[in-house]
């Protein structure tokens, strides 16, 4: 059925996005269970708007949006046809006129038999059982309602409004909570007609007042452009947002003894060294500055499926002055030799610092996307100066290009040489900083 095709495309978009129902629900301000019913085909949304939002979050292409809109129109139109199939399975097939008699009884016209029809042939004309002539207004309903249902089943958009009106009548609840054609007849006193489809096919007709059938036929030409206009935004260019993001770890070390801070405080006013993951929260209130070297980690990721080429990494120096005359505090003691991490080396003492690959790191360019990030280690060092600096990442994607500033959460990185080799260490199991004299 068309509803299954609609749900199948929704399911394909959802699985391709890699997002859970909970994550999608938060972005769309909908419950995850509602989205699951849409994707599984249990429910066809009454409006296309939530379906379009879901598809856009799942990054559907313009062509996929148009196809999804077409399938939704068919599924929405066939909502009423499915309902009558169920009713036909529970009761009569309508060929013996008993269904028409029941509808006439609900409508309060049992004393005047409802016209029955001969099964459609090449030129079938309904033959009234009663001598009372049937109103002329009922004739259009016999022909248009089955035609609208047939067009909806074949995906013709031009009569979607007529089918939607018939489907609403079929599924409208009556006063005592029942659903179906009888409930729709009970709410109107206009003349009715009973129609039947060809042999072997379920009934797709609805008991509906003839004025409504005429109205639906006249409104169907207007319905086509209005439904088609729903998918018009899909032809717009994607929003001009950032194509990549960078998360930064300003203080990184393989082993604690590789990193030290310069702090303008005495040892009794400095708390014990933190683990690496807490270094930012420890260093910020102390106004600590990386001593002699600083390794920053950049995690670069695209924001969509498009490939973003990282063309180069540039070093920009904000200021450079004399080394700080502050106390040096080591984050660990008793460590072995330096670990040679694959990284980009930055000598801040050069007039124009550059990021040079070391330890087997290959040079730029790189490429990233939403599902394929890259991690870069930048090892900056100085032996003479107090340097404030930041990085610029040069990128391009399709016809777009630019540079992205990378720094310490809005402020420049800062690295300073120490005044000598002396430093304070916090021995394992100790309760205070101890001075270690330099050689």
Give 382: exposed, middle or buried? Use CB within 10 Å, 0-12, 13-18, 19+: buried
The pLDDT tens digits of the residues spanning 14-71 come to 898 888 888 888 788 888 888 888 898 888 888 888 888 888 888 889 888 889 898 9
- At residue 3, the pLDDT reads 65
Give 34: exposed, middle or buried? Use CB within 10 Å, 0-12, 13-18, 19+: middle
Q: 222 — phi, psi (to 5°)? A: -75, -25
Q: Which of 10-19, 383-392, 424-433 has the highest mean pLDDT?
A: 383-392
Q: 349 — phi, psi (to 5°)? A: -85, -10
Distance CA 102, CA 117 (A): 15
- Between the alpha carbon of residue 42 and those of residues 55, 160, 203, the distances in Å are 18, 22, 23
- At residue 222, the pLDDT reads 44
Q: With cut-offs at 50, 70 and 90, classify the pLDDT of residue 129.
A: very low
The answer on pLDDT for 185 being more than 90 is: no
The structural domains of the chain, with segments of one domain joined by +, span 97-235, 244-436
- At residue 415, the pLDDT reads 97
From 9-13, 88-92, 261-265, 395-399, the region with the lowest mean pLDDT: 88-92
Closest CA relative to residue 414, chosen from 321, 304, 307, 281: 321
**Could you tell me if 293 and 415 are in contact, meaning their C-beta atoms sit under 8 angstroms apart?**
yes
244-249 vs 385-397, strand pairing mode: unpaired
- At residue 336, the pLDDT reads 54
Average pLDDT for the chain? 72
The answer on pLDDT for 201 being more than 80 is: no
Token pair recorded at residue 229: 């206009």
Residue with structure tokens 């072995």? 336
Q: With 0.85 as the threshold, say if the pTM is over it.
A: no
């Amino acid at each position: 059925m068309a509803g299954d095709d609609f749900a199948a495309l929704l399911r394909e978009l959802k699985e391709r996005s890699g997002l859970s129902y909970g994550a999608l629900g938060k972005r769309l301000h909908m419950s995850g269970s509602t989205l699951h019913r849409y994707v599984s085909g249990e429910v066809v949304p009454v409006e296309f708007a939530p379906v379009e939002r879901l598809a856009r979050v799942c990054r559907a292409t313009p062509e996929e949006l148009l196809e999804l809109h077409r399938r939704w129109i068919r599924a929405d139109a066939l909502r009423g046809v499915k309902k009558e199939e169920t009713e036909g399975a529970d009761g009569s097939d309508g060929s013996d006129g008993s269904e028409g008699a029941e509808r006439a009884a609900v409508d309060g016209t049992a004393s005047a038999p409802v016209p029955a029809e001969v099964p459609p042939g090449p030129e079938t004309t309904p033959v009234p059982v009663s001598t009372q002539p049937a109103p002329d207004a009922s004739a259009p309903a016999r022909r248009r309602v089955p035609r609208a249902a047939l067009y909806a089943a074949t995906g013709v958009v031009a009569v979607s409004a007529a089918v939607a009106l018939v489907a609403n009548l079929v599924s409208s609840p009556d006063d005592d909570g029942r659903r179906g054609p009888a409930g729709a007849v009970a709410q109107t006193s206009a003349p009715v007609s009973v129609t039947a489809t060809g042999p072997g096919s379920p009934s797709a007709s609805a008991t509906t007042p003839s004025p409504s059938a005429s109205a639906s036929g006249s409104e169907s030409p207007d319905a086509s452009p209005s439904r088609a206009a729903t998918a018009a935004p899909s032809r717009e260019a994607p929003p001009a947002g950032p194509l990549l993001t960078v998360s930064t770890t300003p203080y990184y070390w393989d082993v604690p003894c590789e990193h030290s801070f310069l702090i303008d405080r005495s040892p009794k006013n400095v708390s014990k060294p933190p683990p690496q993951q807490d270094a930012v929260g420890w260093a910020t209130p102390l106004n600590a500055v990386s001593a002699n070297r600083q390794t920053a980690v950049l995690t670069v990721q695209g924001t969509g499926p498009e490939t973003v080429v990282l063309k180069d990494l540039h070093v920009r120096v904000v200021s450079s002055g004399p080394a700080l005359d502050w106390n040096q505090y080591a984050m660990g003691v008793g460590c072995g030799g330096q670990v040679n991490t694959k990284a980009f080396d930055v000598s801040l003492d050069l007039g124009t610092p550059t990021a040079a690959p070391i330890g087997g790191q290959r040079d730029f360019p790189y490429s990233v996307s939403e599902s394929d990030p890259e991690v870069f280690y930048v090892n900056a060092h100085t032996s003479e100066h107090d340097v404030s600096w930041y990085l610029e990442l040069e990128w391009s994607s399709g016809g777009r290009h630019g540079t992205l500033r990378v720094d310490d959460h809005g402020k420049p990185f800062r690295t300073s040489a120490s005044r000598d080799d002396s430093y304070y260490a916090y021995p394992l199991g100790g309760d205070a900083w101890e001075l270690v004299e330099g050689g």
